[in-house]
């Protein structure tokens, strides 16, 4: 793997990682301040619930930013357009590099909190997910290869706000409200599209561009095959849990509705 640290990279990469860490800390404190003033139930939460509440605040913020930038590059911009000459796997942008650095800063911060409070903020599967994410993003950042595929994987973060809203409503005692149900359906659909179908498209795209994928350095090639495969397996595992949860919620709602009619 050839790593060329130009003047721009020497400043951009560490600055973007640091920006990601600072962003997490700032949003964490902002979530705490806003929640304590605008949500009466926040003061009644336990210390650990407050920590997770604030943690999910900066994870939501990162997810929205990462998904927006990934969508722009993969869908809207011409950076990875098939009609443009050049090898797709070699294409990159300073903004995609900056986003990768910010994401590494986010994953480092979140991983540090998960380890500090382990296992309250997440189990071993989260350690695996974050470790693989930082490894893949870091490899793409250092090599300048496969930015398109990393951006596709980052776009899957679009489901995170729905996951976090589900937790917020649960902790706030709002599991019976309509918003909890609608959010659950949106989470199911979003997860199916962004974390299942999108990965099918990713692997299909890699198959049709196998000559380009195979042309990169050996570690990058095997990582490009192994990391998305492992993450997709985790996504299927979590999707199964989401499906069971949604079925359970809908079943409970139907029984409640039938009991209401009987009364």
Specify if 54 maps to a domain.
yes
Q: What is the pLDDT of residue 255?
A: 77
Which residue is associated with the tokens 């990582």?
223
Does an H or E element contain 177, and which?
Answer: none
Specify if 263 maps to a domain.
no
Specify if 262 maps to a domain.
no
Q: Which structure tokens are listed for 64?
A: 């929205």
Q: What is the pLDDT of residue 49?
A: 97
Q: What is the pLDDT of residue 261?
A: 58
Specify if 85 maps to a domain.
yes
Q: What is the pLDDT of residue 176?
A: 86
Specify if 161 maps to a domain.
yes
With pLDDT > 90 as the criterion, what percentage of the chain qualifies? 84
pLDDT beneath 70, residues of the chain: 1-7, 258-263
Q: Which structure tokens are listed for 80?
A: 């990875």
Residue 249 lies in domain? 8-257
Q: What is the pLDDT of residue 260?
A: 61
CA dist., res. 151 & res. 66, Å (int): 8
Determine the 3-state secondary structure of 6 from DSSP.
coil
Q: What is the pLDDT of residue 254?
A: 79
CA–CA distances in Å: residue 5 to residues 9, 25, 102:
6, 28, 18
Specify if 123 maps to a domain.
yes
95-127 pLDDT, tens digit each: 999 999 999 999 999 999 999 999 999 999 999
Q: What is the pLDDT of residue 5?
A: 59
Count structural domains, the chain: 1
């Amino acid at each position: 793997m050839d790593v060329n640290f130009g003047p721009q990279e020497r400043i951009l990469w560490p600055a973007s990682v640091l920006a990601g860490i600072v962003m997490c800390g700032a949003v964490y404190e902002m979530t705490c301040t806003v929640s304590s003033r605008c949500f009466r139930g926040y003061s009644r939460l336990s210390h650990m619930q407050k920590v997770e509440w604030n943690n999910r605040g900066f994870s939501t913020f990162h997810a929205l930013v990462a998904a927006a930038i990934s969508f722009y590059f993969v869908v809207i911009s011409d950076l990875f357009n098939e009609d443009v000459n050049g090898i797709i796997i070699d294409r990159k942008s300073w903004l995609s590099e900056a986003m990768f650095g910010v994401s590494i800063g986010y994953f480092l911060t979140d991983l540090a909190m998960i380890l500090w409070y382990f296992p309250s903020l997440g189990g071993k599967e989260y350690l695996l997910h974050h470790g693989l994410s930082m490894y893949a993003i870091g490899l793409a950042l250092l090599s300048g290869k496969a930015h398109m595929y990393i951006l596709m994987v980052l776009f899957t973060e679009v489901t995170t706000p729905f996951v976090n809203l589900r937790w917020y409503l649960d902790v706030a005692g709002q599991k019976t409200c309509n918003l909890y149900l609608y959010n659950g359906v949106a989470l199911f659909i979003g997860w199916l599209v962004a974390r299942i179908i999108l990965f099918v498209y990713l692997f299909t795209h890699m198959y049709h561009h196998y000559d380009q994928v195979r042309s990169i350095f050996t570690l990058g090639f095997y990582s490009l095959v192994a990391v998305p495969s492992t993450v997709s397996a985790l996504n299927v595992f979590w999707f199964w849990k989401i499906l069971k949860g949604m079925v359970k919620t809908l079943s409970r709602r139907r029984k409640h509705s039938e009991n209401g009619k009987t009364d």
